[in-house]
Structure 1
């Protein structure tokens, strides 16, 4: 079997396991906090945002360092370190008995977060630019498939076995995925790349980003999109509880999470392939408009089935964003600095993951959870406007220079 195809298959399966395991705990994170004491609703909502977001705040600072290390020494060691690190943190989360302890463990998890972004960098480095969107879309399907089943399985396990055992099982599955990568992945560095032997300083990398208008815009776009997408996630279980009072609320929250993942699964590869042929910036603009339109109804629903349908349609649109962004970076970044540039992009994503839950928690505490959906839609509109302006300005600059 061709090496690139074998690595893609292994990383697809490993990403499936990691994504499924990591998302198992998301639907009931706020419910888990409620079991640690007699807290008010405002306290639970606020700390749900903080506990959810602190992982990504730590990852914001660490991701470029992981990317730089990968450019110099390879991506496989990072996959092994982050995989076992995440597994250890989640294992300890099942044993913690305070909100502050959970907060600290989520902080530690942020330091070693990076398995899935590093897998994108690994496969991207071995993929031709002409088919980058399609290939990365295929890899993303593994992540999305895991994200689809993870919340559903996690909700069922939490209802049946309790929260603590769900954390322990989750850590075991992530460790299994890491062993699979350690044994099966063979990383081949592309020695023939024209820029491979060059050594780029951190200043060179940052300069390259800031001198490419659309590339910089893509990274700001990552921040805005993730801020919007993650603003509601830690509150979704509470929102589902408002719509449908039931004893198996963790399962129903997992179902709402999974609806978005199912929409992702059906269309992610198609969006990436369309980006290869029509241009990833054009496809991104379409996706941002669709996301803005499809987020508003989620704040207006009156029943759980309406929310699930809206989340599914939103998943169809948002599923192409990551493959298109990563493929664009693959086209614009020299191979020798590609991992670090992807690391900076992941940092922007993680900063959105921090701002989003905190913003959602504060807005929901002041104005109600429905308000979060409307503000989120406005963020998608802002992201579209920024990308449209940047592409237009870059086109005008190219015409004037020619």
Structure 2
């Protein structure tokens, strides 16, 4: 097996565990807080939301920082540090005895949640431009699988082994993954950065990002993906409850939410490969319009099986956006700033995780749950028209590096 392929498989496994660890606490967080003492439901709900959301908020701040450090000193060091940090934070959560202690550990977890963004940069650097979409789509399978099954296994483990043992087992699993990363991952610094003498200032990175508006646009799309996905999460149980008389509403709503993840898994690698062949902008435009179209029926269907079907189709559309966006950034950013640039993209992702539930809950109170879906569809349509209009109005340039005319123009 080649070094590149071994690195890919190692990071796929590690991403699975990292993604699962950030979401596994969702099903039992409120129950875990109840064990800290006798508190009112309002107190528990307030702290549950704060403790869960703070990890993504802190990760939003630190992702570009880890990317910048990785660009300068090498990605493997950051991967090892953040993976060991994750294992320690998860392990210690099992021994928390107050909401304050648990909050501090979730903050620390947010600080070291730079692993996935750095792993994207690591694999992007070792991958040829012609295969970037396919390979990054393959890497994404690990993260999507972890995000999908994390809450499922977290809830099952908590029921079977208790809260403390769940955190302990997860912490040990991530520790083993960290050891595999330390011993098995091979980083060729020379191949990745050339002489590694070109060090860009943060100002230069931000200037490039804002000057190349398409980079900013794809990062906004990254945030939009998470906003659309998580805006309906707090509302699904209520919405699904209107479609079924079953007593297992929690399971049914979980199934509806997971359907998006399954759709994501099915097509993520294929979309990335199509992006390699036909251009990432073209595929992104197709995916944006598909996502907008598949959201609309979710606002009107009264049959649960139809709702789940359209959630699955929506997941298929979302599945190709992340690898195409990551591959596009890999093309547009110089090697010495790829880690930081992908870190900003990861920050956009975490920002979407924070904004989504807040926006969905707020909108549903004003316009109803049905119209939240229509609002999300409108957001995808707006992004599509903006992205397509930019490609239409840009002057044509001679193809370079085997890229499309519009993509090449961005490098001039």
What TM-score, normalized to structure 1? 0.86
2:356 corresponding residue in structure 1: 356
1:83 corresponding residue in structure 2: 83
2:192/2:335 contact within 8 Å kept: no
C-alpha change, 1:352 and 1:210, in structure 2 (3 Å) is same
1:26/1:234 contact within 8 Å kept: no
User: Is 1:38 matched up with 2:40?
Assistant: yes
User: Secondary structure, in 3 states, of the residue corresponding to 2:40?
Assistant: coil
Residue segments in structure 2 that go unaligned for 5+ positions in a row: 399-404
2:221 corresponding residue in structure 1: 221
Q: Which has the higher contact order (CA 8 A, sep 6+)?
A: 1
User: In the comparison of the two structures, how many residue pairs are matched?
Assistant: 400
C-alpha change, 1:181 and 1:192, in structure 2 (3 Å) is closer
What pairs with 1:152-301 in structure 2 (closer than 5 Å)? 152-163=152-163, 165-191=165-191, 196-236=196-236, 252-301=252-301
User: Secondary structure, in 3 states, of the residue corresponding to 2:198?
Assistant: coil
Q: Deviations over 1:51-100 (max 9, x none)?
A: 44322221222111101110111111211222222233333444446656
Tell me by how many angstroms 1:286 deviates: 1.2
1:8 corresponding residue in structure 2: 8
C-alpha change, 1:95 and 1:365, in structure 2 (3 Å) is farther
Tell me by how many angstroms 1:202 deviates: 1.4
User: Secondary structure, in 3 states, of the residue corresponding to 2:41?
Assistant: coil
User: Secondary structure, in 3 states, of the residue corresponding to 1:190?
Assistant: helix
Tell me by how many angstroms 1:50 deviates: 4.2
- Backbone CA RMSD of aligned residues: 3.3
1:150 corresponding residue in structure 2: 150
Task: Using the TM superposition, name which of 96-105 and 69-78 deviates more.
Answer: 96-105
Task: Using the TM superposition, name which of 158-167 and 175-184 deviates more.
Answer: 158-167
2:394 corresponding residue in structure 1: 394
2:57 corresponding residue in structure 1: 57
Distance in 2, matches of 1:304 and 1:166, equals 32
User: Is 1:111 matched up with 2:111?
Assistant: yes
Q: Deviations over 1:183-235 (max 9, x none)?
A: 21111113485674312111221122122121222122222332222223355
Tell me by how many angstroms 1:242 deviates: 6.6
Distance in 2, matches of 1:165 and 1:92, equals 11
Tell me by how many angstroms 1:348 deviates: 2.1
Distance in 1, matches of 2:42 and 2:238, equals 13
Tell me by how many angstroms 1:317 deviates: 0.9
Task: Using the TM superposition, name which of 242-251 and 66-75 deviates more.
Answer: 242-251
C-alpha change, 1:201 and 1:318, in structure 2 (3 Å) is same
1:264/1:316 contact within 8 Å kept: yes
Distance in 1, matches of 2:190 and 2:332, equals 17
Distance in 2, matches of 1:192 and 1:363, equals 45
1:237/1:249 contact within 8 Å kept: yes
User: Secondary structure, in 3 states, of the residue corresponding to 2:328?
Assistant: helix
1:375 corresponding residue in structure 2: 375
Tell me by how many angstroms 1:271 deviates: 0.2
Task: Using the TM superposition, name which of 215-224 and 241-250 deviates more.
Answer: 241-250
User: Secondary structure, in 3 states, of the residue corresponding to 2:204?
Assistant: helix
What TM-score, normalized to structure 2? 0.84
Distance in 2, matches of 1:47 and 1:329, equals 37
Tell me by how many angstroms 1:334 deviates: 0.8
1:70/1:339 contact within 8 Å kept: yes
Tell me by how many angstroms 1:357 deviates: 2.3
Residue segments in structure 1 that go unaligned for 5+ positions in a row: none
Q: Deviations over 1:303-328 (max 9, x none)?
A: 65444333222111101111000000
1:70 corresponding residue in structure 2: 70
C-alpha change, 1:273 and 1:358, in structure 2 (3 Å) is same
C-alpha change, 1:23 and 1:300, in structure 2 (3 Å) is farther
Distance in 1, matches of 2:84 and 2:316, equals 32
Q: Deviations over 1:258-294 (max 9, x none)?
A: 3222111110010000001111111111111221222
C-alpha change, 1:292 and 1:29, in structure 2 (3 Å) is farther
Q: Deviations over 1:324-360 (max 9, x none)?
A: 0000011111111111111122222222222222222
Distance in 2, matches of 1:279 and 1:249, equals 42
Task: Using the TM superposition, name which of 10-19 and 128-137 deviates more.
Answer: 10-19
User: Secondary structure, in 3 states, of the residue corresponding to 1:172?
Assistant: helix
